[in-house]
A and B are shown apart, each in its own frame.
Chain A
Amino acid sequence: MLKFEHVSKRYPDAGEALTDVSFHLQRGEMAFLTGRSGAGKSTLLKLIAMMEQCTRGNIFLDGQNISRISDRKIPYMRRNLGLIFQDYKLLNDRTVFDNVALPLVVSGYNHQEVARRVRASLDKVGLLGKERKHPLALSGGEQQRVGIARAIVNKPKLILADEPTGNLDPDLSAEVMHMFEQFKQVGVTVLVATHDIELINHLEHRVLTLDKGHLVAS
């Protein structure tokens, strides 16, 4: 599903952020990506999200090489991804419904289909009935669940989560992780970047560890 082949990323002014990284995540596999700040976690996620291009090597997403993808194709390729952020990245001037609907609207689904899928998605994260609320009227945990609902609404093949529990207390974190495990059950590949060692040890999943740009354990 997601395959890195000898991937390196060098920034012109900050040096090499990733060096010769190779790994392969299968369909329906869940993995943690961990390492200290500056170890290259964000860079790796940015490469998968096509926000950056790698300097060397190849990245395959669902069989397609995205390391040399053209700008024109990026939007369509991104529709296979569900992105979840530490700071949720919700649009605060729009309702929960509109936030979750965004990936469907940009992909051109009709009104009924959007409404049906948004409700199904909100139901999965336990927020059905809060469609009309604005994000700022919700708690941090609820906002993150809106973010998760938005990430899964388009039925992505790969979910990328960047420190999804960074702003949540342990109970809520466990709840979020439980959700990710459910997505894995239905065949979605999940990659979670986190430095919450306790959480990682508690759950038995594959762990990719980065250290100064090198993949030291997978």
Chain B
Amino acid sequence: MMTQIRRKHAGNRIVELFEAYLLNHAHGLFSSLGRLTRTPFTSAMTVLVLAIAVSLASSFYIVVANVEQLTGNLESSNQMSLFLHEGITDAAGQKLMEQLQQNPSVAEVKYISKKQALEEFKANSGFSDALNALERNPLPSVIQVLPRNALEHSEDIEKLMADFKQLPQVEFVQVDMQWVARLQTIMLIASRGVLLVSLLLGFAVTFITGNTIRLELQNRQDEVFISKLVGATHAFIQRPFLYTGFWLGFISGFLGWLIVTVMLLILESPVEKLSTLYNSSFELLFLSFSEFLLLLMISAALAVLGSWAVLHYQLRQLKPQ
């Protein structure tokens, strides 16, 4: 009977502890926000600095994402264009094409006559009127050659190129998509660079928040001492400070997103204009909803991490006198 009562009592105490724990978290969440609004100037300064760091990282990210969008649909291939001499007739061109098709290194060939080239150029360039004014067709005939996939190595490509150059009918050879490969490599470097810069900015968010929390801890030293003396655990004492860190990160994440979005909105119409001038259907890419959520989460997590590191170290140092 007694043990039953005692067990029931212990159970109640656990429920009570849990309720108090949740209440304490809720209190920490809201009181830390209230505390931030009580020193509006200091809080605003900190949040702005953090938001700028967040917006820098995310604007680099979105710029790379936009350029990648632009270059992503250009497939890297080693397609070559063999430009033929002026005097080569269509029949001779066709014959050369058939000859090239026999080459085991060649997967596909396509002959584009002078006339076809001109039609295509007129249709795509927007210079049709100017071209009509020309007395004669300035474009050469072209044979497009797609090498076999086996020819991944650039030496093989170069050897093939050298062979084609030897042909008497060919004026010069161009590997069409070399620039795409180069651009894609540049983009790879750029996105890796963005990653590194974002990492640095992430460190900045962590350290700025950590330092803010350190100052806050110093301002509230008495409270920390007294709490320690009445039996508060470190977890209890650091809770409101961690929530302060969380709010700093969360609000900065939101503000950072806002800054990037406003910047993109400002850029949107000139980009659109440029896109029309290029006959392109390019549309400026904004941060998606899931990227927005991710941004909030990352900046809040980094801020909490910075706060935690400082609290973990400093709370041990702070001993009541």
Contact = CB atoms under 8 A, between A and B. Distances in A.
A89 interface: yes
Interface string A60-99: 0000000000010001111101010000011100000000
A106 interface: yes
A83 B24 contact: no
Contacts of A106: 227, 230-233, 236
B24 A108 contact: yes
A135 to B, nearest CB: 12
A40 interface: no
Contact of B20 (A83, A91, A110): A110
A78 B237 CA distance: 15
Contacts of A76: 231, 233
A11 to B, nearest CB: 14
A10 B16 CA distance: 43
B17 A89 contact: no
A154 interface: yes
A105 interface: yes
Contacts of B312: none
Contacts of B16: 108-110, 113
A76 B225 CA distance: 15
B19 interface: yes
A51 B319 contact: yes
Given A51-B319, A91-B226, A75 B24 contact: no
A105 B226 contact: no
A103 interface: yes
B229 A49 contact: yes
Contact of A79 (B222, B225, B226, B231): B231
Given A91-B222, A102-B226, A107 B24 contact: no
Interface string A11-23: 0000000000000
Contact of B24 (A105, A150, A154): A105
A78 B233 contact: no
Contact of B232 (A71, A75, A77, A81): A75
Nearest to A49: B229
Contacts of A90: 226
A75 B319 CA distance: 13
Interface residues of A, number: 25
Contacts of B232: 75, 106
Interface in A127-153: 150
Contact of A103 (B19, B225, B231, B234): B231
A202 interface: no
A41 to B, nearest CB: 15
Nearest to B16: A110
Nearest to A91: B223
A89 B24 CA distance: 23
A107 B223 contact: no
A109 B227 contact: no
B23 interface: yes
B223 A83 contact: no
A111 interface: yes
B105 to A, nearest CB: 73
A114 to B, nearest CB: 9
A102 B227 CA distance: 7
Contacts of B24: 105, 108
Contacts of A49: 229
B228 interface: yes
Contacts of A107: 231
B29 to A, nearest CB: 15
23 contacts: A51-B319, A51-B321, A71-B316, A75-B231, A75-B232, A75-B236, A76-B231, A77-B231, A78-B228, A78-B231, A79-B231, A81-B231, A89-B226, A91-B222, A91-B223, A91-B226, A102-B226, A106-B227, A106-B232, A107-B231, A108-B16, A110-B16, A111-B23
Interface of B: 16-17, 19-21, 23-24, 222-223, 225-234, 236, 316, 319-321
Given A51-B229, A81-B231, 9 more contacts: A75-B232, A77-B231, A78-B230, A78-B231, A91-B223, A102-B227, A106-B230, A108-B24, A154-B231
